[in-house]
Chains A and B, each alone.
Chain A
Amino acid sequence: MWRRGLSSVAQGWLSCDVVVVGGGHAGCEAAAAAARRGAATLLVTPSPSASIGEMSCNPSIGGVAKGTLVREVDALDGLMARAADAAGIQFRMLNASKGPAVRGPRAQMDRVLYKWAVQRMLGGVPGLAIHDGAVVDLLVEPRPSGGGPGPVVAGVVLASGERILCRSVVVTTGTFLRGVIHVGSHSRPAGRIASLTSAREASRPEAAREAELTDEADVTAAGAATRLARRFADLGFALGRLKTGTPPRLDGRTIDWSVCEEQPGDGAPTPFSFLHLQQPGWSPPAGQVSCFGTRTTAASEALVLDCMASGERRDGMTVAQGGCVEPRYCPSLETKFRRFPGRTHHVWLEPEGLGTDVVYPNGISNSMEPEDQLRLLQTIPGLGAARMLAPAYAVEYDYVDPRELAPTLETRRLRGLYLAGQINGTTGYEEAAAQGLVAGANAAAPGGRDPLLLSRADGYLGVLVDDLVGRGTSEPYRMLSARAEFRLRLRPDNADLRLTEAGLQLGLVGAERAASFQQRRQQVEDAEQLLDAIQLSSSAWARRGLHVSQDGDYISAAQMLTRPGITLSQLAAAAAAEQVPGWQQLQELAAAAAVSAVPYLEKMEAEVAELRRDEALLIPEWLDYSALQLSAEDREKLTAARPTSLAAAQRIPGVTPSALLLLLQHVRKRQPREGGGDGSRRSSAADGSSQLAQEAAAEAAASGF
């Protein structure tokens, strides 16, 4: 079915609205989002059926903050959550014991199922065609017909010589820009080794065949991306170099599981997609398995340090010591032992799928010689006799300084060119998908009208884009909840209430989700009403063990929730015992537990209003800072950062209040006041529980919380 979708590419296409280069997580979301907004979209990638939806690194999706990103992509009708639900073989809610804002849905994936799910969904997107090819260059129109500064993209050139004219191009080439893979002392240009990830020597021969196809496609892609990289350099883009790694792959049949610690999934798996959350009794379609854990030993440390001392590369450095920056949250084993000597480190053993015995030993990525890697395995309990199907490797690649981008992810240098994913210096499937969705949605909007612009207060999507375009990054950027200052608002469970309405307005959300969303919004409103409606006298609450001051007044469940230490389940139990009408429904309202954070949320609402006001104050992109009477330091900082709004300018470290006031004055001159005063711009995608929060907040204040 999906193959037919892919093969029905119109060979004669000479022009379309949007071309998406690359079929990874960013490319798929970009192509689907552009098509959902009505743009005639073409996804170009070598051997689509082999490469689309490939998981190049760990077989897992979600986590703290990352899971929220997946939910946000889903709220805007993206693909990732639905594909992950279809392919998940172990679901876990991280931080389940903590508050709802920091919970992180995560699942281990069956690689093959995931790939199928993505390809099936892409095949069903109207207006989206997929083309087997490799983009090697951009067509650039130096002087646009419509005016405006700078050159404009006009199309792409394929390796075959074909030219495709289009309005916008989204480039999502991942680690393929001048990618170099190091396995021990051997290096070769490539972005990944797919046959590692699908395991040539696994039990399913057809999977091995597919992996080889992917490898062939990757070789084509690598050659093409290198030519593309040259083009970027010629256009004057600031490029940097990053490094990341992936561990060896093991044959699960040769692991001694009995000495490893089992980590089962949740008893009641929570899906990623709101569409599935809306289906009562949803359960994962794929079979469920466990992960396992073991640890490195002192012998592992000694071996790695020894190898580092002797295993110098020709240029005198091992990759771990090399010139590029590796992510601090995903260090190579060499780095771990060097920086934290005398410790043992976790090794998580993750199955790569149901139909394969390949195991991904998370936590021991390295770039040692393959024979040293084998010796390393022998020092780790449970892996002593493990067969290594493929060695670990490190990959170095070019990225474009994301400060080259506007918040739409369009480059400032070349209009109509959008970048998403690892090419912007990020890491992770979720980060890539999120950017892909933003870039695709904006690439589809003709003339930059109705852009998808999300603020830091709207979601992790907004934080991600704002961090990238505002501050750039010097290591592969991973989303962390620590980066979100409005974390308590940006819960994974309310992503749809925050974003779907905006998606509907932009035509980014399809009919099925629109219907599901209306239903869900109704339920949330009902829940709020229910919490207000369920009332017990203070003595009745006390009778059920919830002590409140005995003034004889009736107290609603919403009010009770604002008291520290009181949980929804306690309330539900009390309501059930008292047989208050509606007690059954109360038991289903876990999400509303967030109300205990009400005083903080209230403070945040004020800050959010302020932020939105400053975000509305747009600074013209080509503002000449030298014409303003700024201090040299302010001018230098502002010129380098080119903030798009006053809010962005405020976040530039070290910019003085005087400079901000001066900017404000300048902006005001250009942008006559709209309405004035505060509160004039409330979010259209307002938090559905804010009314409840406000009411409860009033109560909280009264009770001296």
Chain B
Amino acid sequence: TIYALSSAPGRGALAVIRISGPASDMALKHLMMRDELPPARKATLTSLTAPNGELLDRGLVLRFQAPLSFTGGEDCAELHLHGSPAVVHAVQDALRELRLRPAEAGEFARRAFDAGKLDLTQARAQPHHAHLHAHHSAWLDVEGLADLLAADTESQRRQALLHSTAHLTVAFPLPSVAARLEAVIDFGEDEGIAEDVAAGVLPLVCDLRQQLEGHLASAASGELVRTGVRIAIVGPPNAGKSSLLNLLAGQEAAIVSPAPGTTRDVVQVQLELGGVKVILIDSAGLRQTDCPIEAEGVRRAVAAAHQAHIVLHLADATSGAAADGVDSRGQLADVALPLPAQIVQLWVMNKADLVPGCHEAAGATVPPAPHLLVSCKSGQGIDQLLALLQQHVRALVASGGDGGMAGALVTRARHKRTSVPPDILVALQHLEVQCEEVRAAARALGRVTGAIDTAMVLDSLFCEFCIGK
């Protein structure tokens, strides 16, 4: 049973994960923590839960029973999630834990074909259908094909990774690693190529793994650098979110007024922090409201928080709730939680200048730990806040973060296969079984970089060893 993100990678309002295979129903039951299945072909709003009991997201689940499914011969399901990379990751992790595997490029389409279910012309996106109808039908097929492939998982990821990994085949000693193992198997006995040649492969494999992980991480953070780190400022109305945005951006990007609820829509400002592109997002204050316009603003604010890398919770130090940080957090919790664990959350209190006795404490963190007292008016604590943000932004970029969805997905999907676990090389006694691991790694890497075929391995083998019987 396979799964794949079927909507475009990156941020969006929705992300759709498609599942196909006999274990689809099982996976749904586990995610929904229910014994009965949702009705087929009807959208069901439900909580999705990881096998460890952690809540992943609330979303829509669609179940399709074979043969009335995309792949025809198999049960399918679609999970419509919030379009946050973190949510998508978490759900994919959960699916993998349930022993589903990521789909290969074109695999969904392939399964649909095999079931005789899918005609490519039908599969084409409807809006373009009429437009293209005049064209030769074969051309139509190709169009549909391209759409399908594009929607069908890995090709985008591969695209994203291609330029950063194109040189890997050359740089990585995988053919050489394979060559040494194969040499011992095929020629060891006659040519006196001893097993210590194979043992010498281990450091190479470890080195390879390190390199590979480095490349994947840089592919991910490369994406993060390209798209920018998103910082959302959220908090109750009139906490000074827009003031903070204007202050940090150094421009009047958002309208500021003393009236609570001034900001209705999401305001984005792009700036640079420590050499990294950052998108600062201001949004409506979080509160229960009967005004439909403000309610929509709140909804957007919550969505913005979900899609951010860093959420900066801003509270008013003078408000009653601010006396107790837990409450000011609780106020947000009512409306917006849960935020996925991957999002960095910072708690900051504004209007330090209005709190008597707080002047000298401004800029210092007050317990509980993550709180920072600032004043947008006096500028107190702003330098510290900037330093704190910069520190988190750098850490995100260095770690690859979660914003580099493409890279990170690859990291996750490939991790198990591309990194040859050295313990396997040590633990198993038979060389040919060890070699099977390296072959699997070569196949996996080959899917990204272009195939590493037997000819390459043999080239490497005959370069390195004099085979002469």
A residues near B (Cβ < 8 Å) are: 63-65, 94-95, 98-99, 101-102, 104, 328-331, 336, 339-340, 343, 345-346, 348, 362-363, 480-483, 485, 487-488, 564-565, 596-597, 600, 603, 613, 628-629, 653-654, 657-658, 660-662, 664-665, 668, 673, 676-678
Alpha-carbon gap, A677 to B139, bound state (A): 28
Q: How far is the CA of A289 from the CA of B188 in the complex (A)?
A: 23
CB neighbours (8 Å) of A654 from chain B are: 450
Instruction: Provide the residues of chain A in CB contact with B388, threshold 8 Å.
Output: none
Q: Is the CB of A99 within 8 A of B149?
A: no
- B466 interface residue, CB < 8 Å from A? yes
* Residues B23-48 near A (CB distance < 8 A): none
**Is B149 in contact with A661, judged by CB distance below 8 angstroms?**
yes
Residue of A nearest to B137 (CB): A629
Q: Using known A-B contacts A65-B186, A628-B138, determine if residue A480 contacts B431 with beta carbons closer than 8 Å.
A: no
Q: Which 5 A-B pairs have the closest CB atoms?
A: A99-B430, A482-B182, A328-B462, A94-B189, A340-B466
Asked if B334 is at the interface (CB within 8 A of a chain A CB), the reply is no
- Contact status B149-A565, CB under 8 Å: no
B185 touches A95 (CB 8 A): yes
B82 within 8 Å of A (CB atoms): no
Residues 173-213 of B at the A interface (beta carbon under 8 Å): 182, 185-192
Give B191's nearest chain A residue, CB to CB: A346
18 A–B pairs (Cβ distance < 8 Å), ordered by A:
A63-B190, A95-B185, A102-B431, A102-B432, A104-B189, A328-B462, A331-B468, A340-B466, A343-B466, A345-B466, A346-B191, A481-B185, A481-B432, A597-B433, A597-B436, A628-B138, A658-B145, A660-B106
Stretch at the interface among B86-94, B378-386, B452-460: B452-460
Cα-based distance from A653 to B453 in the complex (angstroms): 9
Question: Is A665 a contact of B468 with CB atoms below 8 Å?
Answer: no
- Asked if residues B138 and A629 are in contact (CB atoms below 8 Å), the reply is yes
Whether B432 and A661, one on each chain, are in contact in the complex, defined by CB atoms closer than 8 angstroms, is: no
Task: Please state if A363 and B469 are interface contacts (CB–CB under 8 Å).
Answer: yes
Residues of chain B lying within 8 A (CB to CB) of residue A330: 467-469
By a CB distance below 8 angstroms, the chain B residues around A482 are 182, 185-186, 454, 457-458, 461
A330 to B146, CA, bound (A): 47
Asked whether A664 and B186 contact (CB < 8 A) given A99-B431, A483-B454, the answer is no
**Given known A363-B469, A613-B114, contact A64–B185 (CB-CB < 8 A):** yes
Q: How many residues of B contact A (CB 8 A)?
A: 51
What chain B residues lie within 8 Å of A662 (beta carbons)? 141-142, 145
- In the complex, how many angstroms separate the beta carbon of A473 from the nearest chain B beta carbon? 10
Q: Which residues of A contact B451 (CB under 8 A)?
A: 653
Decide: B115 and A677 in contact? CB cutoff 8 A. Answer: yes
Bound Cα distance A373, B357 (Å): 102
Any chain A CB within 8 A of the CB of B427? yes
Check if B217 is an interface residue, CB within 8 A of chain A: no
B residues apposed to A, CB below 8 Å? 73, 105-106, 109-110, 113-116, 120, 136, 138-139, 141-142, 145-146, 148-149, 155, 182, 185-192, 427-433, 436, 439-440, 450-451, 453-454, 457-458, 461-462, 466-469
Q: Which residues of B contact A340 (CB under 8 A)?
A: 466
Which of A101, A362, A480, A657 meets B469, CB within 8 Å? A362
- CB contacts (< 8 Å) of A343 on chain B: these are 466
Q: Is the CB–CB distance between B141 and A336 below 8 Å? A: no
Q: Do residues A658 and B149 form an inter-chain contact, with CB atoms below 8 A?
A: yes
Cβ–Cβ < 8 Å partners of A64 in chain B: 185-187, 189
Closest-by-CB residue of A relative to B179 is A482
State in angstroms the CA–CA spacing of A95 and B186 once bound together.
9
Alpha-carbon gap, A597 to B113, bound state (A):
34
Tell me which residues across on chain B come within 8 A of A95, comparing CB atoms. 185, 188-189
Contact between B110 and A664, CB atoms less than 8 A apart = yes
> Which of A339, A613, A658, A664 sits near B142, CB closer than 8 Å?
A658
Which of B110, B141, B185 contacts A98, CB < 8 Å? B185
A654 to chain B, nearest CB (A): 8
When chains A and B are docked, how far (Å) is the Cα of A101 from the Cα of B432?
8
A480 engages B468 (CB within 8 Å): no
Question: Which residues of B have CB within 8 Å of A481?
Answer: 182, 185-186, 432
Q: Which residues of B contact A657 (CB under 8 A)?
A: 105-106, 149, 155
With contacts A64-B189, A481-B186, A658-B146 known, what are 19 further pairs, Cβ within 8 A? A64-B187, A94-B189, A95-B188, A102-B431, A330-B469, A331-B467, A480-B186, A480-B458, A481-B432, A482-B454, A487-B436, A565-B429, A596-B430, A600-B433, A603-B440, A629-B136, A629-B142, A657-B106, A658-B145
Q: Which residue of B lies closest to A677 (CB)?
A: B73
* Contact A668 B116, beta carbon cutoff 8 Å: yes
How far, in Å, is A320 (CB) from chain B's closest CB?
A: 13
Of chain B, the residue at the smallest CB distance from A329 is: B467
Q: How far is the CA of A372 from the CA of B358 in the complex (A)?
A: 100
Q: How far is A664 from B187 in the complex, measured between Cα atoms in Å?
A: 40
- Determine whether the beta carbon of B182 is less than 8 Å from that of A480: yes
- Bound-state Cα–Cα, A232 to B114, Å: 41
Do A346 and B192 have beta carbons less than 8 Å apart?
yes
Is there contact, CB below 8 Å, between A661 and B186? no
Query: Is there an interface contact between B468 and A336, defined as CB atoms closer than 8 Å?
Result: yes
Q: What are the residues of chain B within 8 A of A660 when measuring CB–CB?
A: 106
With both chains docked as a complex, state the minimum distance between the C-beta of B102 and any C-beta of chain A, in angstroms.
15
Which A residues are in CB contact (< 8 Å) with B106? 657, 660-661
Complex CA distance for A480 and B188, rounded to whole angstroms = 12
Tell me the bound Cα distance from A678 to B106 in angstroms: 17
Contact A676 B185 (CB under 8 A): no
Chain B residue, CB-CB nearest to A567: B429
Inter-subunit contact A485/B188 (CB<8 Å): no
Residues in A neighbouring B188, C-beta threshold 8 A:
95
C-alpha spacing A488/B437, complex, angstroms: 12
Instruction: Give the CA-CA distance A362 to B145 in the complex, in Å.
Output: 56
Q: Is the CB of B436 within 8 A of A488?
A: yes
Tell me whether B190 and A94 are in contact (CB under 8 A): yes
Query: In the docked arrangement, what's the CA distance between A654 and B446, Å?
Result: 11
What residues on A are CB-neighbors of B439 within 8 Å? 485
Closest to A672 in B: B116
Chain B residues whose CB sits within 8 angstroms of the CB of A363 once the complex forms: 468-469
Contact check: which of A99, A102, A661 meets B113 at CB < 8 Å?
A: A661
Q: Within the complex, what minimum Cβ distance (angstroms) separates A602 from chain B?
A: 12
A629 touches B141 (CB 8 A): yes
A102 and B185 contact, CB distance less than 8 A = yes
Name, among A661, A664, A673, the residue most crowded by chain B CB atoms within 10 Å (CB to CB): A661
Residue of B73, B145, B182, B436 near A661 (CB, 8 A) is B145
Contact across chains for B454 and A629 when beta carbons are under 8 A apart: no
User: What's the minimum C-beta distance from A443 to chain B, rounded to whole angstroms?
Assistant: 29
Q: From residue B213, how far is it (CB to closest CB) to chain A in Å?
A: 23
**List of B residues within 8 angstroms of A63 by Cβ:** 190
Which residue in B113, B429, B462 is a CB contact (below 8 Å) of A665?
Answer: B113
Considering the chains assembled together, what is the distance between the CA atoms of A101 and B106 in angstroms? 33
Query: Bound state CA distance, A101 and B439, in angstroms?
Result: 15
**Docked-complex contact B185 and A346, CB < 8 angstroms:** no
Establish whether residues A336 and B73, one from each chain, have CB atoms under 8 Å apart when the complex forms.
no
Nearest-neighbor residue (CB-CB) of A607 within chain B: B443
Closest Cβ–Cβ distance, residue A91 to chain B (whole Å):
14
Q: Please give the distance in Å from B47's CB to the nearest CB on chain A.
A: 30
Contact of A676 among B115, B141, B431 (CB under 8 A): B115
Please, which residues of chain B bring their CB within 8 A of the CB of A346?
190-192, 468-469
User: How many angstroms between the C-alpha atoms of A328 and B114 in the bound complex?
Assistant: 42
User: What residue in chain A is nearest B155 (Cβ atoms)?
Assistant: A657
For B114, B192, B461, the residue with the greatest tally of chain A CB atoms inside 10 Å of its CB is B114
Q: Which residue of B lies closest to A474 (CB)?
A: B455
- Decide yes or no: A665 and B141 within 8 Å by CB, A346-B191, A482-B458 being known contacts: yes
User: What is the CA–CA distance of A64 and B136 in the complex, to the nearest angstrom?
Assistant: 54
Per a CB cutoff under 8 Å, which of A336, A480, A485, A661 touches B466?
A336
Q: Complex Cα distance A462/B285, Å?
A: 69
* Residues in chain A near residue B186, CB distance under 8 A: 64-65, 480-482
Q: Closest CB-CB distance, B340 to chain A, in whole Å?
A: 30
Within 8 Å CB of B433, what residues of A? 99, 488, 596-597, 600
Residues of A within 8 A of B191 (CB): 346
CB–CB A98/B142 < 8 A: no
In whole angstroms, how far apart are the Cα atoms of A94 and B467 in the complex? 16
